[in-house]
Amino acid sequence: MNAEIITIGDELLRGEIVDSNKARIAERLLLHDLDCRHQVSVLDDPADMREVFLRAVERSDFVLVSGGLGPTRDDLTTEVLAETFGRKLELHADSLAAIEAFFARVGREMAEVNRKQAFFPTGADVLPNPIGTAPGFALEVDRGARRAWLFVMPGVPRELDRMMDEQVLPRIAATLARSGPRRVVRAALLRTFGMGESTLEASLVDLARDGEVELGFRTTFPDNVLRPVARAGTAAEADARIARAVEAIRERLGPIVYGTGSDTMESVVGGLLRERGLTIATAESCTGGLIAERITDVPGSSAYFLGGIVSYSNAAKAELLGVSQASLEREGAVSEPVVRAMAEGARARFGCDLAVATSGISGPDGGTAEKPVGLVWIALAAGDRTGRAGTHADSFVFQVDRSRHRALTAQVALDWIRRHLLGFELAGPTLMRRLGGGSTPGGGSGGR
C-alpha cells in the first residue's frame, strides 16, 4: 500500500512560505513503514484541486491533505472534496460547540464565518483539533475494486503534527494491520557537518549500492543529512539492515556524523558538557552573539553556560576581554593573536572550563587583499578539567553571504567544542577554502 501527500494554498506555489508539511507528513509515514510515492502542491482553485484529488485516489491507498480548512473564502478543501466525491455538507454539532468553546477560552467572539469549519462531507469521520479552530476529517472513497482513504488536516504545522500523531496514524496503522503481511520499512537519520554532499556520496557510494539499503542525501545548510532506508520481509531483518548501515556509515565518516534524528549541534554539545560537568562561555565579534543564542536555545543550558560577551568593537575587545591594544593595532581585530586573547580572556573572566571566540569579516564589504571578505578566525581555550588544556586557533575563508557566513562560523565553533570533548582533531569543513594555516593547541596568546 502506498501514500500520497497533497498540500493546498496559493502561498505555497508563490514561494511565500516554505512547504514544510510535506516533510513532516512523509517522515511520519516512513517511520510507520509506509512509502510516500507522490507529493503534490495545488492552488486554491476548485478545478485544479478536483483534478488532483481524483488522480490521487486512483493511484494511492492513503491520501493525506494539508491546508484549506480555514474560515475564509479561499479555504475550499472541504467543499471541493465533497463535490468531487458526490457528498453533501452536514453540520457537525460537536465540532461547532468545540469551535465556540475555543473562542470563549481565548476571550474572543466567534465570527459567523467560523461556522463553515464545522461542516463536513456526509460519511466523514471528524478528527478533533484541540489546539485550533479547524477540525480535520477522514473520508473513505470507492475507486472501483479498491478503496482509498483521504485524511484532511489543517495547514498550521503544530496542529497538523498533533492531528497526525493522535488521529491519523492510528487509523492508518489499523488499516494496514487488516491488509495482511507486507514489506517492512525502516529508516534512520544521521546528521553530518564538515563534508560536502558530493564528497559524502563518493565516500559512501559502495554502501548506497549494496542492494540492502537505499541512501538518501539532503543539504540543510550548514549540515548534510543522510537517511538510510531499508526494506525487508520482517521487522527484524529491516532493523538489522539499518543497524549495519548506520554502523558502517559511522565507521567510514567518524566525527563527521554528529547526531541522529532531531539532534542539533548545540543540543549534542550541551549533552556532552552536562555529562562531564563542564562550563563554557563565549566571546563573539562577527557572530554577534549567535553562538550564545544557539547554546541557550537548549533547555537546561544554564547548567553549563556561564555567559557571553559580544565584543564587536576594538575597545570592547580590550576593555571586556583584556585583548592588548598592541595586538589590535599591529595584527588587526581579525587575527590569530586577537582571537586567542578573546577566548582566553573570556575563560578568565567567567572562570569556565571552555571558551570559544570568533572574529571575522562577514561582508559584504570590509575586506582587503590580505584579509578578504569571508575570512574568520576561531579560537577555543580549554582548561585542565577538559582533558586537553590549551588554546587552539584556526582561520578559514567562507565565501558565502553575510547570514550564512555567521551561521557557518557558529557551527564550526560549536563543532570544535564537540570535537574537543570527544578527543577528535579540531578540523574545519573540508568544502571551504582555508586561508593560511592554524596553530596547534598550546598556551599563551601570541602568534604562530
The CA-atom distances, in angstroms, between 137 and each of 65, 115, 133, 167, 353 are 10, 16, 13, 9, 54
For residues 381 and 419, the answer to whether their CB atoms sit within 8 Å is: no
Taking alpha carbons only, the member of 33, 29, 26, 24 closest to residue 177 is: 33
Radius of gyration of the chain from Cα atoms? 27
What DSSP string runs through 232-266? ESSHHHHHHHHHHHHHHHHHHHGGGEEEETT--HH
Residue-level pLDDT, tens digit, the chain, 448 residues: 789 999 999 999 999 998 999 999 998 887 777 878 999 999 999 999 999 999 999 999 999 999 999 999 899 999 999 999 999 999 999 999 999 999 999 899 899 999 999 999 999 999 999 999 999 999 999 877 778 999 999 999 999 999 999 999 999 988 888 877 667 788 899 999 998 888 888 889 888 666 788 888 888 899 999 989 888 888 899 999 999 999 999 999 999 999 998 899 999 999 999 999 999 999 999 999 999 999 999 999 999 999 999 999 999 999 999 999 999 999 999 999 999 999 999 999 999 999 999 999 999 999 999 999 999 999 999 999 999 999 999 999 999 999 999 999 999 999 999 999 999 999 877 544 343 334 334 433 332 2
* Domains of the chain listed by start with CATH number: 2-178 (3.40.980.10), 184-260 (3.30.70.2860), 266-422 (3.90.950.20)
The pTM score is 0.76
Helix (H, G, I), strand (E, B) or coil at 278: coil
Note the pLDDT tens digit of each residue in 189-227: 999 999 888 888 888 988 866 678 888 888 889 999 998
pLDDT at 438: 40
**Cα–Cα distance, 238 to 90 (Å, whole number):** 45
Note the pLDDT tens digit of each residue in 142-159: 877 778 999 999 999 999
Taking alpha carbons only, the member of 291, 282, 360 closest to residue 321 is: 282
pLDDT at 49: 97
Helix (H, G, I), strand (E, B) or coil at 187: strand
Taking alpha carbons only, the member of 418, 350, 406 closest to residue 380 is: 418
For residues 288 and 407, the answer to whether their CB atoms sit within 8 Å is: no
Residue 425 CA to chain centroid, in angstroms?
Answer: 26
**Cα–Cα distance, 122 to 111 (Å, whole number):** 24
**Cα–Cα distance, 39 to 56 (Å, whole number):** 10
